[in-house]
Amino acid sequence: MLIQHIQIENLHFTAEKQQHSAVVIISTNKGTVCLKGCAPHSATASSADIRRALTEDALRQIQRLPEFRAGTQAIKIGQRCATEFHVPFKCLA
């Protein structure tokens, strides 16, 4: 599976959990995968740190799928893979 584009939507922060969550949309050469990603960062974390943590969480979830866990498929990230990061921060207290 070749990842071509990663988009992060509906980002929000939950103050009581000190956690950001968002929908991580991963476009690949085989289709599109939508996952809920979580990033345990404070409200003052940089957008780069949040984006990295959300992407890592989504990739961790994909790696747990049987075809990837068994090693019959590999995950590759394209050289031109871009990440769109939409930041409508919304605090949920």
- Confidence at residue 78, expressed as pLDDT on a 0 to 100 scale: 83
- Confidence at residue 91, expressed as pLDDT on a 0 to 100 scale: 34
- Confidence at residue 10, expressed as pLDDT on a 0 to 100 scale: 92
Give 49 or 71, the one with higher predicted confidence: 49
Residue-wise pLDDT tens digits, 1-17: 888 899 999 999 999 99
Counting other chains too, the contacts that 46-51 makes at CB distance below 8 Å and 24 or more residues apart are 47/85, 47/87, 50/11, 50/20, 51/8, 51/83, 51/85
- For the chain, give every domain's residue range: 2-92
Average pLDDT of the chain?
84
Mean pLDDT comparison of 8-12, 63-67, 77-81, highest-scoring range: 8-12
- Confidence at residue 76, expressed as pLDDT on a 0 to 100 scale: 84
How many CB atoms are located within 10 Å of the residue 83 CB? 14
